Amino acid sequence: MKYNPHNYQQYAAEFIEVNTISCLLLDMGLGKTSITLTALNDLLFDSFQAHKVLVIAPLRVARDTWPEELVKWDHLSGLRVSVAVGTESERKTALQKQADIYIINRENVQWLVEHSGLPFDYDTVVVDELSSFKSHQSKRFRTLMKVRPRVSRIIGLTGTPTGNGLMDLWAEFRLLDMGKRLGRFIGQYRNDYFTPDKRNGQVIFSYKPLPDAERRIYDRISDITISMKSRDHLKMPELVSAEYAVKLSIPERKRYDELKRDLVLQLPDGDITATNAAALCGKLCQMANGAVYSDNNEIIGIHDRKLDALEDLIESANGKSVLVAYWFRHDLERISERLHKLHIPFSRLDTTESIKRWNNGELQVALIHPASAGHGLNLQSGGSILIWFGLTWSLELYQQTVARLWRQGQTSETVVIQHITVKETVDERILKSLKEKDNTQSALIDAVRANLKI
């Protein structure tokens, strides 16, 4: 297929070529893979500023998305690519092939650097979904930092740079510029831009940004960062977000409040104990969804409020295909049981074949976990309705899951996102948290948005 880039795609590709360090905050659907490959093609064969490229990406994206983009566009036909996923022997074989671009999944970064026995002689590195390197304590971050000085050009790609707040940015930009803009040490970054928030004596549990922190941080990184939103450059369908709230009965509410208050709930089918605040939050999320794991890991049913709401929403879709996001394993089991009873054709989207069936319109309902839907899945051909049965605290997973439907190529004029929530439960806190995090992230993206005259 002939590549006819939009103006913003040309701008972004040139930005990569001009800057040895570049961070592209590209909204979902803007074609970041084709943009990057176009730039790499020019760097390899036009200006000869790149010689051996390593792409680090989520597994499915490394295995499927990058190779598919190469086959798709005519101007990339000269690129030799080797995908290093699979068993250790398969990865080694792929890395020893003659190629221009080597692609590996992020889980194998440590293996590549420390255990493969192969030299790390890549002069150009692309980190697809840079936000997955937001933890400075993770092995993948520490390992990649060891070889970062050997890399002459690095490209970071993501649509969600601050999924959990501004603190995430330090590790991402430390990897890109080795600390030039936001400091070499996380302690320095905290002192410069944050102040202690929740604490107990000398123990600090969280930090909050100083009043002018956002502006100063954005100013520091603006020279190597551009951002673009889909709505600015593409004709996107209208995104409609709604909440379908349900209410617990008095006995159900009593159980929920008892666990919240006492951290222990005694039920005929088993006891439920929350050992700390994080465990309590997880248990309350489960109870809001309608079931909870006992201390013996047995599934104990609490209510069917969300299942009934899901049934209503599927019925109101009038035969249109519906994508349902779940979080816990018992969510999947209970939803599947309800759909079987209703004789509704459905499948979990966990294989290439199931994804194909969804995009071909063969499934009325598809079930997906946000962690597996986060990156690289194109599901817009299968439907335009997403129902959140169980919510996630992660803004990144939330936005990426929504973007599976609300993206370029969606033929429907409207994409509907329904959130099934239980009143006066942790569900309301999660929605509020997602909104607050989105405000922070939107501020970052707006601050460094590319100023294009299109």
Task: State the alpha helices, DSSP H only, in 63-208.
Answer: 66-72, 88-95, 109-110, 139-147, 169-177, 186-193
User: What is the per-residue pLDDT across 91-144, written as a single tens digit (0 to 9) for each?
Assistant: 999 999 999 999 999 999 999 999 999 999 999 999 998 988 999 999 999 999
pLDDT of residue 348: 92
pLDDT of residue 437: 76
pLDDT of residue 420: 94
The one-letter code for the residue type at 31 is: G
- Of the listed ranges 201-210, 310-319, 346-355, 368-377, the one predicted with least confidence: 368-377
Task: Flag whether pLDDT at 208 surpasses 90.
Answer: no
The strand pairing partners of 238, in sequence order, are 414
**Is residue 79 within 8 Å of residue 37, measured between CB atoms?**
yes
- Residue 221 to residue 366: CA distance in whole angstroms: 40
Q: Where in the chain is the domain with CATH 3.40.50.10810?
A: 7-230
- Residue 421 to residue 212: CA distance in whole angstroms: 35
Three-state SS string across 355-409, please? HHHHHCCCCCEEEECHHHHCCCCCCCCCCCEEEECCCCCCHHHHHHHHCCCCCCC
User: What is the per-residue pLDDT across 219-276, written as a single tens digit (0 to 9) for each?
Assistant: 999 999 988 776 777 677 888 888 888 899 999 988 888 888 877 766 666 667 776 7
Q: Where in the chain is the domain with CATH 3.40.50.300?
A: 238-424
- Residue 261 to residue 272: CA distance in whole angstroms: 13
User: What is the per-residue pLDDT across 386-396, written as a single tens digit (0 to 9) for each?
Assistant: 999 999 988 88
How distant, in Å, are the alpha carbons of 146, 209, 250, 397 from that of 177?
13, 22, 56, 26
Q: Which CATH class is domain 7-230?
A: alpha beta
- Residue 156 to residue 366: CA distance in whole angstroms: 32
The one-letter code for the residue type at 354 is: S
Paired sense of beta strands 264-267 and 270-273, if any: antiparallel
- Averaged pLDDT, 26-40: 86
Task: Flag whether pLDDT at 404 surpasses 70.
Answer: yes
Task: Establish how many alpha carbons lie within 13 A of residue 393's alpha carbon, considering only the half-sphere containing its beta carbon.
Answer: 8
Q: Which CATH class is domain 238-424?
A: alpha beta
